[in-house]
Structure 1
Amino acid sequence: MFDDLDQAPGKLGFIDARGKSVRTLPDDIDVAWLQKSYQHMVRIRQLDKKAVALQRTGQMHTYPSCLGQEAIGTGIGMAMQNEDVLVPYYRDQATQAIRGVRLEQILQVWGGDERGNLFEGVAARDFPNSVPIGTQMSHAAGIAAAMKSRGIRQAVVANCGDGATSRGDVYEALNLVGVWQLPMVAVVNNNQWAISVPRSLQTATRTLAEKALAVGIEGVQVDGNDVVAVYQAVRSALARARCGKGGTLIEAVSYRLSDHTTADDATRYREASEVNKAWDFDPVKRLQTYMHDLGQWTPAQEQALLVAVKQEVDAAVTAYLKTPPQAADDFMAYVFANMTPPLLAQREHLLARLERDNAAQGGKHHDS
């Protein structure tokens, strides 16, 4: 497992676990880019920590932490252009935030409020989180097919976890990408654990990137704890896709430092020593060390960042907690473009029930 996390031969990487350079950085990576990426990873880590605390105190539903995987989402977001389309899974908070999704919206979604998916700006092009495993890949292939048929020079980025690659949905979508040469980039977050199932029991292939061979597309394995490596791989794959050269499967090797979700207890199937060892590959600390050694990040800058991030996250939490409840029948409106007769009947039944409950409570307002 830790051989995968280290700088193995054939895996793209620029900054190793010690924060040392192992390859010349791409020409467009400068200090400002590094600092922006680092600041965003810290921002997402603090949001993640707060979201877990909200769930533990009964103020949010089940939440999927992205602890230890911030470099993947950040690298993807930094590589995408405004015209691209993101089809995320449930651990893509970092990419969504770069695309313009407000932090309080991310909290709203995991608080069970569909209004958190009403994206604006660049993110209005993107799709909401997919919780079912692997189904988003089929949606992404369909979007990519539409782009190609219309002659649009854009691309789709679809993300999933390592466990999703064992599902037929993912293979079928990637097979279509290969056959039709669709402009789609699939990024697999190989965080070593599909809930309680280790990667070694998921597949017999040496790498997940090798699965690209079966569908005839490019396959690349990158150090998922190196934000520069993720950015470079995704940027190159997107450029190929926009030029009509087909899709790419990118395996970003990382490690899930948290439970699978707040409904999981990873201590039942993982040794504490394994998790402790994985912290040596922490993507946030890695980039901080690299910039510090360059003389481009100081303790004063770190302290100022932590203060600013705390204020931003606290403001997002306040906005989330103060959001008025959504209408009780609101979730029905998001199933189909137009509500079906059965849904309309259920809606009428629900509203009638709420009206009776409201009357029984003496007219007290009840909408949740």
Structure 2
Amino acid sequence: MGIMGRNGSGKSTLLQIICSVMQPTVGEVRVNGRISALLELGAGFNPEFTGRDNVLLSGAILGLSRSDMLGRLPEIEAFADIGEFFDQPMKVYSSGMFARVAFASAIHVNPDVLIVDEILGVGDAKFQEKCYNRIRTLRDRGVCILFVSHSTEAIQRNCNTALLLDSGRIVVHDSVDAVIAVYQDLLYGSGQTGKIETKVLASEQKQTAHIHARNSTNDIALQEFLNGGQDPLCSKFQYYNSHERRMGNREAEIVDFLITTDGLSDFDLLSGDEEITIYLKVRFTRKIARPELGWAIVSPEGIVITGSNTAMREVALPETGGGETWVYAVSMRPALCGGDYFINFGIGEIINGTWTFLDNRRAAAHLSVAPRGKTTGFFDLPFKCEVIFNPNHHE
């Protein structure tokens, strides 16, 4: 179970109560089985002791005999992989070494409940991958894991369910995707491949003259989109996902969108090679000095495969006024492998260095890409293989 929340929401306090490091002010906590916990960095370790001695001490605290822990030590030492530092005092360790020894010790005592509180963020990428792989292995064996992280992608990859805390109270306990949506709404307001081009088509007063100058089979759909009435056009198309989720303060609102590809304004299956253009109709309720547009392609599990925004691309969109409606076009050629994907997009602004969501539509459109049989994964990247040396060929 992933546990999420803003700083000060009570995540670490909850875990410390479960581990009996702190006592609850009221009520009780019932724990079935052995708990192994990775709380704040270095918690439970004596910096004057060596890594080896601290591992033995941790086992004794959990009720394991010295002989039992000595039998586990080779595996723990190998997993930590810090070489000769394992026999040096932990006061000379880097934060990454601390994390390695702590995690290796925690997972090799056969826990029934494993608690991980943000500690993996200090390790290097290769060690993090090894840790996450072991966490998933323990999860599949039936170990209960309480996983605290500010990384929504880490929660998405490793958890089956999630809990959101705020001010010491449970806001929501639900599926990972549902909890992440509420968490991001709490953070950013009440409510991203190939060469990407962003352009402003026009404000609503200038749209008609611009459209008549275009020549493509998408003209009719695009003109209907730009000049449409109150009802959104997007819901009429096959790619629209009625289960989309939205967040933001709605000081700007994406009132409609249109996706076109290779002359088609409605489609149910892509080859993966097409250029995709997403038209976003945005209505502003106040002046926005510099609106920022963002987009992402995500997996059905919500993992971001690729994404970007105008701030990252250093694309400066014009200032908008209250009561105005603008249309933006985002073009990309993602070269996706066969499978199902969803598109997120949103409008926001950066105030004092902080991104604020005005309107974010998550999984608003579904893309189904036909299998190619040439590559696996997400992207069909260019591939070349040639023989550099053939021992059976001599000139």
Max radius of gyration: which structure?
Answer: 2
Higher RCO (CA 8 Å, separation ≥ 6 residues): 1
Tell me whether the two structures share a fold, i.e. TM-score over 0.5. no
TM-score normalised by L of structure 1:
0.26
Q: Normalized against structure 2, the TM-score is what? A: 0.24
Higher strand share: 2
